[in-house]
Copies of this chain bind each other. A is one copy, B any other.
Amino acid sequence: MDRYLVISSDGHAGPRPEVYRDYLDAQYREEFDRQHVARLEMLAAAGERLEMLAESAKWAEDKSYGLAGAWDHDRRNEILDADGVAAEILFPDGLTEQNSPPFGGDLALSPLGADPELQWAGVRAHNRWITEFVSMAPERRFGLALVLPFWGVDEAVAEIRWARDRGLRGIMLPCMWLDQAPYHHPKYEPMWAACQDLGMIIHFHSGPAAMQDYFGAALFGAHSSAEPAVEMPGALGVYVTEVAWWLTRPLWFMIWAGIFERYPKLKTVVTEGSTIWVPELLELMDHRFSEHHFSAKLGSGYRKHLKMKPSEYFRRNIRVGSSAMSRREAEMRHEIGIQTIMWGTDYPHPEGTWPITRDIMLETFKGIPEEEIEAMLGGNAAEFYDFDTEKLAPLAARIGPERSWFREGAA
């Protein structure tokens, strides 16, 4: 094949709020209507204060044709074909794009101020919708069920089974627990067991961060001291500096907790936080795992339940979705680990590669050995997610980026 099979590790899909309404259990629709109006008013008010939202709205207006691929089957295939993407992993859509699942069932799945019953209702609306959306093109779409771990592990396990029964093979968990128990808490054990037993791949996705820290209590809640609303200069700079850390934080809780020791086949992915941090994180954890003078006061209790080094669990059980992957990551690929990297578009988000996917892809990969490009653009994802590559082959042969484009000296 003279074209690459491309699998995007990071796609977003979700219908407009009024469509989500139809997927809610009937008893939640009245509350949905009430909150929907309130949310639109809140966003309008925030938009005046936050330049980010205003710019985002303008961007969305300009790109409305392509953005409809977030929920429209044909439009999505059209855009993906043009981008050269054969298949993708599907997360819910983002906050700023206005088509998030309701009741805090969005990308953040934040427990902050959430009503557990309503949040489950919102999450289930998405899970119902995504199973339908996946079933329209099952060979191209790997959909994730949203799962809330904080409001009872039994209910989380039941939702995981529900999703598996309907053909989904992955879930997304919140990467921030805030005042809830972190992922090394033993109460989550049945959830990890269910994911391993059912072959459900766990995902964390970038976006959530300590918003109340950046923008202040008045906008985002959670400060105990009632601070008046003030401009927080540089807040967004802080956010973009540390957001990837909040995404990846569950990994070291899971690794140190021995979850991958007890569930050796459990698969986990973190998506859209770049891969740049991988070498240093592995170096750091392995150093902390080793015995030396400086760790004398720590004892050995924190590591005796791990039979392998932290980096070995990472290499075996974890992959990283690198959305709009940079040239710098490609250059660091051996240090990061080529098998770790799964390229992604982040379509239809404005920080992703769409609509200039081919340009960015070439900038990232040009001149790199073909078998390495092949692995990062799709091969790694095909293997980790067990995509049916035979079924995808004819599509890739038609729409995939040509191998020749990436060769040194190609125009």
Of B179, B236, B276, B293, which contacts A224 at CB under 8 A? B179
Of B177, B234, B256, B295, which contacts A184 at CB under 8 A? B234
| A360 beta carbon closer than 8 Å to chain B | yes
| Residues of B contacting A283 in the complex (Cβ-Cβ under 8 angstroms) | 276
B238 touches A186 (CB 8 A): no
- Which B residue sits closest to A210, measured CB to CB? B182
| A180 beta carbon closer than 8 Å to chain B | yes
Q: Kindly provide the distance from the CB of A85 to the nearest chain B CB, expressed in whole angstroms.
A: 18
Residue-wise interface mask of A (293-307) relative to B, using a CB-CB cutoff of 8 A (1 in contact, 0 not): 111111111110110
A window 331-385: CB within 8 A of B: 349-352, 356, 360
- Which B residue sits closest to A179, measured CB to CB? B224
With the chains together, A350 CA to B256 CA distance in Å? 23
Q: Kindly provide the distance from the CB of A226 to the nearest chain B CB, expressed in whole angstroms.
A: 11
| A277 beta carbon closer than 8 Å to chain B | yes
| A40 beta carbon closer than 8 Å to chain B | no
A window 181-220: CB within 8 A of B: 181-182, 184-187, 213-214, 216-217
With the chains together, A408 CA to B302 CA distance in Å? 38
| Residues of B contacting A180 in the complex (Cβ-Cβ under 8 angstroms) | 223, 225
Q: How large is the interface on A (under 10, 10 to 19, 20 to 34, 35 or more residues)?
A: 35 or more
B237 touches A303 (CB 8 A): yes
B280 touches A240 (CB 8 A): no
Q: Kindly provide the distance from the CB of A90 to the nearest chain B CB, expressed in whole angstroms.
A: 21
| A19 beta carbon closer than 8 Å to chain B | no
| A324 beta carbon closer than 8 Å to chain B | yes
With the chains together, A174 CA to B360 CA distance in Å? 42
A235 touches B302 (CB 8 A): yes
Interface locus among A3-11, A28-36, A70-78, A284-292: A284-292
A297 touches B182 (CB 8 A): no
Q: Kindly provide the distance from the CB of A181 to the nearest chain B CB, expressed in whole angstroms.
A: 6
| Residues of B contacting A305 in the complex (Cβ-Cβ under 8 angstroms) | 233-234
Interface locus among A125-133, A134-142, A241-249: A241-249
- Which B residue sits closest to A253, measured CB to CB? B238
> Known contacts A253-B238, A350-B296: does B227 contact A181 (CB below 8 Å)?
yes
B216 touches A285 (CB 8 A): no
| A404 beta carbon closer than 8 Å to chain B | no
> Known contacts A224-B179, A236-B302: does B213 contact A296 (CB below 8 Å)?
no
| Residues of B contacting A306 in the complex (Cβ-Cβ under 8 angstroms) | 234
| Residues of B contacting A324 in the complex (Cβ-Cβ under 8 angstroms) | 294
Of B55, B294, B310, which contacts A351 at CB under 8 A? B294
| Residues of B contacting A223 in the complex (Cβ-Cβ under 8 angstroms) | 179-181
B184 touches A233 (CB 8 A): yes
With the chains together, A289 CA to B236 CA distance in Å? 10
| Residues of B contacting A227 in the complex (Cβ-Cβ under 8 angstroms) | 181, 185
Max chain B Cβ within 10 angstroms of own Cβ: one of A51, A52, A240: A240
With the chains together, A272 CA to B187 CA distance in Å? 34
| Residues of B contacting A253 in the complex (Cβ-Cβ under 8 angstroms) | 234, 238
| A230 beta carbon closer than 8 Å to chain B | yes
Q: Kindly provide the distance from the CB of A184 to the nearest chain B CB, expressed in whole angstroms.
A: 5
With the chains together, A298 CA to B184 CA distance in Å? 34
With the chains together, A96 CA to B277 CA distance in Å? 31
| A37 beta carbon closer than 8 Å to chain B | no
Across chains A and B, which 6 residue pairs bring their CB atoms closest together, nearest first? A234-B256, A237-B256, A236-B302, A51-B299, A51-B301, A297-B350
18 cross-chain CB contacts under 8 A: A51-B301, A52-B298, A52-B299, A56-B297, A96-B297, A179-B224, A181-B223, A185-B216, A185-B230, A185-B232, A186-B230, A186-B233, A234-B255, A237-B255, A237-B303, A241-B252, A241-B285, A276-B284
Beyond the given A55-B297, A234-B257, A240-B295, please list 5 additional residue pairs across the A-B interface where CB-CB is below 8 A.
A150-B225, A234-B306, A236-B299, A297-B349, A297-B350
